[in-house]
Amino acid sequence: MRLFEHEAKALFRRAGLETPRGLLAETPAEAVLAASELGPRVAVKGQVRSGGRAKAGAVRLAEGPAEIEEAARAVLDTRVSDQPVTALLVEEALDIEAERYLGIVYDDRSRGPAAVASLAGGVDVEDEASAAARVPLSALDPAQDFRLKEAVSSLGLSGRELVELTGILGRLWHLFTEGDLLLAEINPLARTADGRWVALDARVEIDDDALFRQAETVRDLGIDPATRSDREASDLELEAARIDRSDHRGVAGRVVQFDGTLALLIGGGGASLTAFDAVRAHGGSPANYCEIGGNPSVRKVAALTRLLLGQPGIERIAVIMNVVNNTRADLIARGVIRGCLDAGLEPARAIAVFRVPGAWEEECVALLRHYGVTACDRTVSIDEAAARAVAASG
């Protein structure tokens, strides 16, 4: 879950990191009012959960009420990576002597966290990748001071700046581990004319699967996780998330909508991705990606099935899961059948394929047979089930 800048900076301040004084605004008039409390010259920053704001014109310096109002109006009319600006962060403009980049990231190469440091802070830091230091860290050991110092010292820094930046990186590391983060980034970290290090921008991503441990933090920030993704959630996705939250049992509602014609109920660890890719590989057109598992209630499965089949142009649903041991196949079948009937569709017609082998499989097979649906057992691979679903859906 990616945070807005103002939310990320709230976490930074909790971790002992300094940020510019700032206030949120939703209108140009509010931006002018906020600036009156911060100083004559301010930065007007559009709040989107995406990088590249400055290049898109969503970050502007302004001085004086008329200029600030004009800047706020322009930023609010900007889209960044096809995301609308939802609010403004108005911050005091600081006198900057130098900029750096510091971050704790999840590194695909080392398959774990890594400290990243660069002398090149700012909008083009990605273009200076060769000048960046990247040092793998161990999530099993909270004491990583030596490696953090290694990341900073490898930039050729020493003395006071080495000590200060290592300390800042240490606070980021503590925030990363305690907050279940996938990313904690300061870009740029600025040294002001009076010698302070200030986080001018902040990017934070929380691991979705750890949100249950970060419930207090999310609540304090006023965030509804169901509304957070890298793009605006569709009405279907929001309703699916509401269905999932309506009952604590299992997962049935993590949906990403696509423009295809075949609804999918898929699950079983990486099997959901395998099934989705297999449908596409066989020429199918998925209407959604949807995780299901952990023994969701019949009511949740039925509501989700009805929701997916209720979309315009969707008449068939494919139910494909890995061999299950923590989910009753018969309960999935009951929910899907009930959802089909609630949508006014005959299960034998609406279910393109049903492959949920494992626990309570015999009861599942008998129930589906009663409604004219043939269940696939584990001798039918996920790939073959996907092929049958595509063929059945035409």
Residues 3, 49 contacting (CB under 8 angstroms): yes
Residues 11, 203 contacting (CB under 8 angstroms): no
Q: Is 67 exposed, middle or buried (0-12, 13-18, 19+ CB in 10 A)?
A: middle
Instruction: Spot the catalytic one: 5, 7, 69, 101.
Output: 101
Listing from the earlier edge strand, what are the strands of the sheet with 316-321?
A: 251-257, 288-293, 262-267, 316-321, 351-355
Calpha distance 27→69 (Å, rounded)? 9
Calpha distance 29→4 (Å, rounded)? 22
Calpha distance 181→114 (Å, rounded)? 12
| DSSP 8-state secondary structure symbol assigned to residue 32 | H
106 annotated active-site: no
* Cα distances (angstroms) measured from residue 181 to each of 47, 229, 288, 343: 20, 15, 27, 40
For 112, the token pair is: 């774990």
> H or E stretch including 298?
helix 298-309
Instruction: Spot the catalytic one: 7, 185, 237, 361.
Output: 185
How many CB atoms neighbour CB 47 within 10 A?
Answer: 21
Strand partners, 90: 23, 44
Calpha distance 104→181 (Å, rounded)? 9
> H or E stretch including 68?
helix 65-76
101 annotated active-site: yes
Residues 229, 236 contacting (CB under 8 angstroms): no
Please list the active-site residues.
Answer: 101, 185
